[in-house]
Amino acid sequence: MGKLTIDWQYFVEVLPHYKTALWLTVKLAAIGILFAIVVGMICSVIQYFKVKVLNQIVQVYLEVARNTPLLIQLFFLYYGLPKIGITLSGELCGIIGLTFLGGSYMAEVFRAGMEAVSKSQIETGKAIGLSNLQLMRYVIIPQAFSYSVPGFGANCIFLIKETSVFSGIAILELTNTTKNLMGIYYKTNEALLMLVIGYLIILLPLTLFLTWLERRVRHAEFGN
């Protein structure tokens, strides 16, 4: 078995490429997750209050989004829409795809958090004259947030990992950059090591923060 060697000069040469790819990955993931939170919250409110017609539309959206791979959604946006005269940039397709998929998962997490709020508190809020909007703002959302943090965090990590499929529509994020550099330099071990380090730089701090946040909201809920 040959001895494993590492070309350290390679890291110096490709570091600018990975810095650019890392920033692009973080930017697209952050924007996609932000919009996914908005979409998920809207859908969960519609589901919670069972708004007529809209609830059925949300159900269809959730089924389509959760039962189709992100890569297929991206192919439709990037390669399919130009056939009918709609051309979107790769980055915009990535954000839309991440929002479409992420919104469906966020909706389920937020809905479960809302339904975990005690019915007695809801009835008490109605008894003192709170409207549905006031109930949502002052009673449901603050408590639902603490219940939703674990699932919310898991979804954020999942969506960041899903950016790896952006390489399928020629976005130069971490995975696609690694593939290109492997083809240029033939330094497979070094390239894959940089890829792992890149995702660790993103995910490790986020995981630690989400763990801390979960503990904080649990302490706030039950007292410490």
Q: For 102-145, what is each residue's pLDDT tens digit?
A: 999 999 999 988 888 888 888 888 888 888 788 888 888 888 88
Angle between helices 90-115 and 54-66 in degrees, nearest 10: 120
Q: What is the pLDDT of residues 37-91, one digit of tens each?
A: 999 999 999 998 888 899 999 999 999 999 999 999 999 999 999 999 999 999 9
Provide DSSP, 117-163. S-HHHHHHHHHTT--HHHHIIIIIHHHHHHHHHHHHHHHHHHHHHHG
Residue 77 CA to residue 74 CA, distance in Å, equals 5
pLDDT at position 103: 96
Structure tokens at 94: 């990535």
pLDDT reading at 216 higher than 50? yes
Query: What is the average pLDDT value for the chain, to the nearest integer?
Result: 89
Asked if 101 contacts 139 with a C-beta cutoff of 8 angstroms, the reply is no
Q: What is the pLDDT of residues 113-124, one digit of tens each?
A: 888 888 888 888
Is 0.95 topped by the overall pTM?
A: no
pLDDT reading at 149 higher than 80? yes
Task: Count the neighbouring beta carbons within 10 Å of the beta carbon of residue 132.
Answer: 13
Using a pLDDT cut of 90, give the percent of the chain over it. Answer: 61
Q: Which residues contact 46 (CB under 8 A, 6 or more apart)?
A: 54, 55, 58
SS3 at position 68: coil
